[in-house]
Structure 1
Amino acid sequence: MKRWLLVAGAVFVVLGLVAGGLWVFLPPDHRTTFLVDASSSADFGEVADAVSAAASNTSADESLALRRFGGECSGANTSELVSPGTGQAARIGEAARSITPSGKATLLSGVVAAIDDFARGYPFRGSKTNHVVVIARGDVDACGNDTDMVRALIRDHTARAGVKIDFRFVGHRLSPEQAKALKEIAAAADAQQPRLTKTSDELVTTMKEVSVPTDLVAKEIKTSPCDTVSPESLATVYLPEPGLKYFDIQCRQDRYTLGILNGPTREAQDMPVVFEFKNNAWVKVLAQTDMPCGDVPKEVWKAWNYPCLKEPAVCRDTSNSKIIDVSGDLGCPAALDIADRYKAAIDGGQAQGQGLFWESGDWSCSWPYEDGYAHYQVPTKCVRKSDKLVVQMGDYQR
């Protein structure tokens, strides 16, 4: 009996030592939660890209998590999409890009829930630092919470969590009033002044900077994806035939690269090739002379100084009319404005002749003849003379 007790005691001690050892050695040095405003907005793709870039820029042994906020003020309006863990930068990026923005901004709910995430004993907190990086857009918090309530809730939940949390706020494309509201919330969380950004490039750079743990600010976390781009590295990814070479390589946002492919002496026609950084590697997206804009942001094409072909935008499609912004660049409000005014001119007998010629300021409209088509098959068109953008109107009863 005594021997059995001794064995059981020894096993208990060993298990205790193992558990204690795991508790001491498994916690990461740093833990960061990305808290993302997923309320309704047209620019959420920029936010998702910035979160992905920031996550990819962190150390592999840093614990990362992703939480979203946005919805209705009275319901469930925040959720943890990726729970804390190391080595999951790619998962953070994938989850951020899969978010469908909806509802109102509910920042306070997200902040409180993010604090409560740190209150649990597991997943482990950071042994050195614990951060919440907040990306706010639009109305910041549309639920009418005043500053005193925000301050009280944050302090109450932080005290219960029993851990110091370093909040870092980033406001993207905010109005002056929205920026002021975000500064008040940051002050209530005892955080630094929010960083404000206006472009995708600024947001990517800022997110990388604020995501670095305090004691690592002066250190390089890892090489930027743009630093890995060279004619040789691109050739290993895509080279349709031997003897070709990449010229004029341009990398933007640590994610997109445009390389010009040609022969060694550059005598033939240039072939542009677009690459994207995915899953920690460069992959070819498209290689052709006329490049569609695709998912590459317009400011990236502008920075490359390379024109891309936009998809035509159908602005209206009813039983008796179809309005198309053929350029994909004009925008539906302007397209519909000139189309409706031209239709009114036709109905009012102001358009001249069988060609229905009509001009309004910078716009010239007509019902042209086109080779290969009967006249009735050709849609009426309006062309903006300054930049040749086209609005096409089909199926109007003439």
Structure 2
Amino acid sequence: MKRRWLVAGAVVVVLGLVAGGLWVFLPPDHRTTFLVDASESADFREVADAVGSAASNMSSDDSLALRRFGGTCDTPDTAELVPPGTGQAAKIGEAARSITPSGKATLLDGILAAIDDFAHVYPFRGSKTNRVVVVARGGADACGKSADEVRAIIDQHTTQAGVKIDFRFVGHRLTPEQIKVLNEIAAATDAQKPRLTKTSDELVTTMKEVSVPTELAVKEVKVSPCDSVTPDVLMAAHPLGSSAQRKSYYFDIKCQQDRYVFAKAQTDPQYTDTLLLDFELKDGKWQNLDSGTELPCGTIPKEVWKAWDFPCLVEPVVCRDTQGNKVIDLNGVGCPAALDIADRYKAAIDGGQAQGQGLFWESGEWSCSWPYEDGYAHSQVPQKCVNTDKMVVQLGDYR
């Protein structure tokens, strides 16, 4: 009996040592939550891409999480999309890009929930730093509490959590009034003054700077993915072929948002004078999306194509298809703009304001007409409106 008790005691001691060892070695040095404004926004993709870039720029040993806010003020409207964990930068980026923005900005709800996330024994807090990186986009907070109320509520939750949290705020494309509210909320968390950005490139750079722990900033900030793009890198991602007499090569390489690359290439054998290719950084590697003499727009944002100064091919979209009143967006102006110019052009024709047999009419950046085209009778050709960005809206079908 005595021996049995000795064995049981030894087992307890061993288990205690194992548990103690896990407690010492499992907690990460740094834990960071990205708190993202997912309220209604026309350019939310900029925020999602910046969050993904910042996450991929951090150490794989850091514990990272993603939480969103945005909805209504009646009830807390925030959700943890990716719980804390190491080695999940790609998961953070994917989850951010899958968000569908909606509702109003509910930043305070998001902050309180993010603080409460750190209140638990597990997932482990950072042994050196615990940080919340806030991206405010659709506004600062639409729920109208005073600065004193905000500070009192935040202090209460921070005390209950029992951990010091370093808040970093980034305001993207905010109005002066929204900036004022964000400054007040940042002050209530004892944070530094919010960093403000106006362009997608500024947002990406700023997010990287505020996300990396201060003591690791010099050591941890990595070379931009755009800086690493070379002909050899693209050749490894998408080989072009070569022979003893001639060699295939990439040239005119342009990179945007640390995520997209446009390049031209000479190939061997030479199928065309110049082959066009686009790439996207996925899971830390450049991967070819499309190649050819012309490129579809695909999932690459319009502003990227514009920065590349290259027109991509957009699949035509039928915005309206009623009897005798069909409107087609030929290359991506968007149905609201297409319907607006089509209706105004039709009204101008009906009002006798269009000039001549070609029904010429202009409004702002738009020029509309009923053109002649080779191979078609005039009655078979639909009317068209073209703006200064060469976006084309077609009224009707070829008959």
- TM-score, normalised by the number of residues in structure 1: 0.90
Which range moves more in the overlay, 197-206 or 244-253?
244-253
| Aligned counterpart, 1:299 | 303
| Aligned counterpart, 1:177 | 177
Matched-pair identity in %: 71
| Aligned counterpart, 2:265 | 261
* 1:215–1:8 Cα change, 3 Å: same
CA distance in 2, matches of 1:251, 1:298: 14
CA distance in 2, matches of 1:336, 1:267: 41
| Aligned counterpart, 1:145 | 145
The residue type paired with residue 370 of structure 1 is: E
| Aligned counterpart, 1:366 | 369
1:336 Cα shift? 4.2
* 1:233–1:144 Cα change, 3 Å: same
* 1:175–1:312 Cα change, 3 Å: farther
Q: Any idea what SS the aligned residue of 2:140 has?
A: coil
Q: Any idea what SS the aligned residue of 2:219 has?
A: coil
What are the superposed Cα offsets for residues 234-267 of structure 1, whole Å, 9 maximum, x if unpaired? 1111123222101122222221122221159x99
The residue type paired with residue 229 of structure 2 is: V
Q: Any idea what SS the aligned residue of 1:307 has?
A: coil
CA distance in 1, matches of 2:271, 2:94: 41
CA distance in 1, matches of 2:29, 2:386: 61
CA distance in 1, matches of 2:111, 2:185: 10
| Aligned counterpart, 1:50 | 50
| Aligned counterpart, 1:157 | 157
Q: How does 1:58-77 map to 2 (within 5 A)?
A: 58-77=58-77
Which range moves more in the overlay, 192-201 or 111-120?
192-201
Gaps of 5+ in 1: none
Detail structure 1 runs of 4+ shifted over 6 Å in the superposition: none
In the alignment, structure 1 residue 115 sits paired with structure 2 residue 119 = no
Which range moves more in the overlay, 10-19 or 213-222?
213-222
CA distance in 2, matches of 1:360, 1:9: 89
Which range moves more in the overlay, 200-209 or 1-10?
1-10
CA distance in 2, matches of 1:214, 1:89: 19
What are the superposed Cα offsets for residues 260-319 of structure 1, whole Å, 9 maximum, x if unpaired? 21159x997222211111001110011122223332233333433333334445554444
Q: How does 1:244-255 map to 2 (within 5 A)?
A: 244-255=248-259
Which range moves more in the overlay, 320-329 or 271-280?
320-329
Alignment match of 1:324 (pick from 328, 333, 336): 328
1:176 Cα shift? 1.2
The residue type paired with residue 254 of structure 1 is: D
| Aligned counterpart, 1:391 | 393
Q: Any idea what SS the aligned residue of 1:11 has?
A: helix
1:107 Cα shift? 0.6
CA distance in 2, matches of 1:115, 1:306: 45
1:172 Cα shift? 1.0
| Aligned counterpart, 1:15 | 15
What are the superposed Cα offsets for residues 333-358 of structure 1, whole Å, 9 maximum, x if unpaired? 65444433332232234445654444
Which range moves more in the overlay, 1-10 or 167-176?
1-10
CA contact (8 A) 1:38 1:70 kept: yes
| Aligned counterpart, 2:279 | 275
CA distance in 2, matches of 1:82, 1:105: 20
Which range moves more in the overlay, 338-347 or 166-175?
338-347
| Aligned counterpart, 1:238 | 238
Which range moves more in the overlay, 247-256 or 111-120?
247-256
* 1:319–1:119 Cα change, 3 Å: farther
The residue type paired with residue 70 of structure 2 is: G
The residue type paired with residue 343 of structure 2 is: D
CA distance in 2, matches of 1:49, 1:237: 22
CA contact (8 A) 1:138 1:178 kept: no
* 1:365–1:247 Cα change, 3 Å: closer
1:71 Cα shift? 1.4
CA distance in 1, matches of 2:227, 2:313: 28
CA contact (8 A) 1:59 1:222 kept: no
CA contact (8 A) 1:136 1:170 kept: yes
CA distance in 1, matches of 2:171, 2:76: 23
Q: Any idea what SS the aligned residue of 1:290 has?
A: coil
Q: Any idea what SS the aligned residue of 1:134 has?
A: strand
Q: Any idea what SS the aligned residue of 1:143 has?
A: coil
CA contact (8 A) 2:240 2:267 kept: no
* 1:357–1:32 Cα change, 3 Å: closer
The Cα RMSD (Å) is 2.5
Alignment match of 1:378 (pick from 375, 381, 387): 381
1:220 Cα shift? 3.2
| Aligned counterpart, 1:205 | 205
| Aligned counterpart, 1:288 | 292
Which range moves more in the overlay, 155-164 or 173-182?
173-182
The residue type paired with residue 62 of structure 1 is: D
What are the superposed Cα offsets for residues 85-111 of structure 1, whole Å, 9 maximum, x if unpaired? 111111111111111111111110110
1:214 Cα shift? 1.9
Q: Give the total of aligned pairs.
A: 392
| Aligned counterpart, 1:224 | 224
Q: Any idea what SS the aligned residue of 2:277 has?
A: strand
What are the superposed Cα offsets for residues 155-206 of structure 1, whole Å, 9 maximum, x if unpaired? 1100111100000011111111111111111011100111111111111111
CA contact (8 A) 1:356 1:366 kept: yes
CA contact (8 A) 1:39 1:105 kept: yes
CA distance in 2, matches of 1:282, 1:369: 45
CA contact (8 A) 2:76 2:109 kept: no
CA contact (8 A) 1:147 1:188 kept: yes
CA distance in 2, matches of 1:127, 1:190: 20
| Aligned counterpart, 1:93 | 93
